Chain A
Amino acid sequence: MSKSLPTPLEGVFRRVPGVRWRQQAERHLRVELSEAENLPALLALLKGEAGYRHLSAISCVDWPDADEFELVYHLDSYTTQVLISAHIRLPAAPGRYVSVSGLYRPAGFFERDIHEMFGVQFEGALDLRPFILTEWGGPPPMRKSFDTEGYVRDHYQWVDYGPEWLAELEKRGGGIVE
């Protein structure tokens, strides 16, 4: 653990239960919350008391072996200038979480994206209608269980080349090496 934590952060982290943090890189803190439900409180404190007005992104990671989704909230403060990545884990079923778009409007985009790509449900989200995959009927494609190649095999027809040189080569006993 690093020694120096910007003062406002010290107080914020102490007030949220189950927060563990460590220095991940220069001016980048990695924060883990043992209870996912405490995240909104942490965000509210960070925004209200430590100047973290910028939600840079929400990233989602699928961990099928643990049956979990990991959500990572990347936050920045234009004053403290220490990046924070806050990590929580959710059970993959039912894959439900609360929206933080009330605190951070950009969450609206990220939650919509994560919902579309991973199938995570965000309660109170601004808009969860499909955005990119409007005409998609399949499962959420960013899940590890979605097999891109298999999908392509099943849904598209493969067209092979048949150039003359290849036909000639095959006549001579050569050809494409599999």
Chain B
Amino acid sequence: MSGSLFRPLKALGTLFEAPITLPMAPRPAAERYRGFHLNDHNKCIGCGTCSRICDNAAIRMVHDPELRADPVKGIRAERPAIDYGRCCWCALCVDACPTGSLSLSREYIHISENLDTFFFVPDEQGMHGFGFEHGWDKGDDNDLLAHQRQPMAEVGTEERLGDMREIVLGFDPQAALVEASRCIQCGLCHDACPTHMHAPEYIRAVWEGDFDEAVRQIYRTMPFGSVCGRVCTHRCESACSLHHRGDPIAIRWLKRYALDQLSPERVGQIASEGRTREKSGRRIAIIGSGPAGLTTAYDLAREGHTVVVYEAQTEPGGMMRYGIPEYRLPRDKLDQDIDIIRAQGVEIRTGIRVGEQVTLEGLATEYDAVVVAIGLHQGRSTRIPGSDHPAVMRAVDLLRTVWSGADFEVPRSATVIGGGNVAMDAARTLARLQRRCFGEVQVHLCALEAEEGMLADREEIHEAREEGIRINPSRGPRRCMVEEGQLTGLETVACLSIFDDTGRFHPRYDEEDARTHPAELIVEAVGQMADIALLPKSIVEQLEWERGRLKVDNDGATALPWLWAAGDMVEGPDVVHAVAAGHRVASSIHRSLQNNRGLTT
């Protein structure tokens, strides 16, 4: 073959074709072009995921004090800055961004002799403020995050109604691994948690299968891991950055899973790591063995102080034992957490009511510091007509009676007043007891709030309905109906609104729309308060009070130098807040003792 000398001349034909001309202006880029970054600052939460996924370390987070920070909502005052000396426009940052705030634009030209211009914080206007269109942004096909939570297995309604067994079964290893693998380690949960648990660390450890490490991370801030792994209000999950486009990580269930993987002995060994062996010679008395009191005790005992906890009931745990139903918190798990606290050297004296067997003044002379952490064990009443009838109970009293195993005559019909979690606890506990005694459930629940406004968790409402409880939203209690000395029911009227224009509690009713709910027993679940009878008058007068609540500073210190207060009585009912308060009080006491301050007599 020799080829042709003439055929190439055919190419001369192209001389008559229109030439390809390109305009001097930059050619518009394709619709999903990967040009310079854009970031919607209203959507961006400063989670830093973009900077962690970046394969070129091209993203650095910058803190701007003028930006809004809201740890509870999971928002940090940080935004990504991009280094175009390093970026390779892979867009992994876009694909990994949990909010979808970050995208790449269709802008691709930047020329400058000034190196500093290659490092900038993108906003919606882009690198040169031209507001170029979005190029590669977050679509459904390129989202790299796993947005679906692993389903949690639960006991079926029929089986669970028969007894008090725990409803939630816990993750199996595969589900736990997958759930843990969804975590992007942004740490927003850590910021949101009242006690700042190291959730990213223990979730990572669960993912790595290193349960020792997971438990170690949990115990850095949480001596009630088994409890909180079940009943925590999980503020962390509302802050989790994955909730923007999907389900937040089941942080609470993973904590529970980690603790359930180790034997109680092993958990105890890990919890005891780093404990001071030397005795300080200081003595602290703590009144109340709920989460606040015992957390304070745990921390102080680990510092080498002698700690004695006084508990009025026969067993320690406070609301965790006498308030939270067993089907949400099995008592052996509570015992496990408390045993580990005891193992740090904490002495718990049960059955001793301060104000009766011992006095506060007595404790004040015997100890260097005293902590009141007595919780909210006194129920409030609606004070409606008939509410003084003996068959009208407060929810806290009902729950305490049932969970302490005291005699209790199960009513054939019952009505609960209230729409919060305590009301649900009361109703669901009664449902189980009725089922056991009579085979059927007859429990009504009347809440002032409309369905959407009810304070209880959604799952609680849903599960209560599953269990046969009749939930009546927007009902205001009018009177307890008593016939011949017997309680027969509760009369309610429709509630039209709860608050007045100024936002004050001032319900309005439609008196025409009345209904009766059958009730041999009425349970009032409309709030609790602290039982401060133990405080002698002389001391009450020296303390500061604010609308019935004891006033303390941020560290739980009262106006008296030797007295601290913590827990629900200060913070309102919540285990994890109580734990957080316990830590603050403990460190405040420890500091004071080191400075020889705050000593009693």
Contacts and interface: CB of A to CB of B under 8 A. Distances in A.
A in complex with B: yes
A94 interface: no
Interface in A150-178: 159, 161-166, 169, 172-177
Contact of A163 (B63, B64, B120): B120
Interface in B62-86: 62-66, 78, 81, 83
B121 interface: yes
Contact of A172 (B65, B120, B121): B65
Given A166-B62, A175-B62, 15 more contacts: A159-B115, A161-B83, A163-B116, A163-B119, A169-B64, A172-B65, A172-B66, A173-B65, A174-B62, A174-B63, A176-B60, A176-B62, A176-B63, A177-B48, A177-B60
Nearest to B76: A177
Max count, chain B CB within 10 A of own CB: residue among A165, A176, A177: A177
30 contacts: A159-B115, A161-B116, A161-B118, A161-B119, A163-B116, A163-B117, A163-B119, A164-B116, A165-B121, A166-B62, A166-B119, A169-B62, A169-B63, A169-B64, A172-B64, A172-B65, A173-B65, A174-B62, A174-B63, A174-B64, A174-B65, A174-B66, A175-B62, A175-B63, A176-B60, A176-B62, A176-B63, A177-B48, A177-B63, A177-B78
A176 B65 contact: no
Contacts of B115: 159, 161
A176 B81 CA distance: 9
Contacts of B118: 161
B61 interface: yes
Contacts, number: 41
A169 B63 CA distance: 8
A176 B120 CA distance: 12
Interface of B: 48, 60-66, 78, 81, 83, 115-121
A164 B120 CA distance: 10
Contacts of A169: 62-64
B176 to A, nearest CB: 29
Nearest to B119: A161
Interface string A111-125: 000000000000000
A127 to B, nearest CB: 35
Contacts of B120: 163, 165
A89 to B, nearest CB: 28
Residue among B48, B83, B116, B118 with most chain A CB within 10 A: B116
A162 B114 CA distance: 10
Nearest to B85: A161
Nearest to B78: A177
Contacts of A161: 83, 115-116, 118-119
Interface in A18-66: none
Interchain residue pairs A-B with the least CB separation, the first 3: A163-B116, A161-B119, A177-B61
A177 B121 CA distance: 13
B116 A162 contact: yes
A175 B63 CA distance: 5
Contacts of A159: 115
A73 to B, nearest CB: 32
Of A162, A164, A165, A173, most buried by chain B (CB within 10 Å of CB) is A165
A162 to B, nearest CB: 6
Contacts of B61: 176-177
Contacts of A175: 62-63
B119 A177 contact: no
A173 B62 CA distance: 11
B116 A177 contact: no
B574 to A, nearest CB: 31
Contacts of A163: 116-117, 119-120
Contacts of B81: 176
Nearest to B121: A165
Nearest to B67: A174
Contacts of B121: 165
B162 to A, nearest CB: 53
A164 B294 CA distance: 52
A93 B117 CA distance: 50
A39 B191 CA distance: 58
Nearest to B64: A174
A19 to B, nearest CB: 35
A161 B81 CA distance: 12
Q: Which among B48, B115, B118 has the greatest number of chain A C-beta atoms within 10 A?
A: B115
A117 to B, nearest CB: 22
Nearest to B61: A177
Nearest to B48: A177
B445 to A, nearest CB: 48
A46 B83 CA distance: 53
Contacts of A162: 116
A11 to B, nearest CB: 44
B84 to A, nearest CB: 10
A173 B81 CA distance: 17
A176 B80 CA distance: 9
Nearest to B81: A176
Contacts of B64: 169, 172, 174
Contacts of A176: 60-63, 81
A176 B60 CA distance: 7
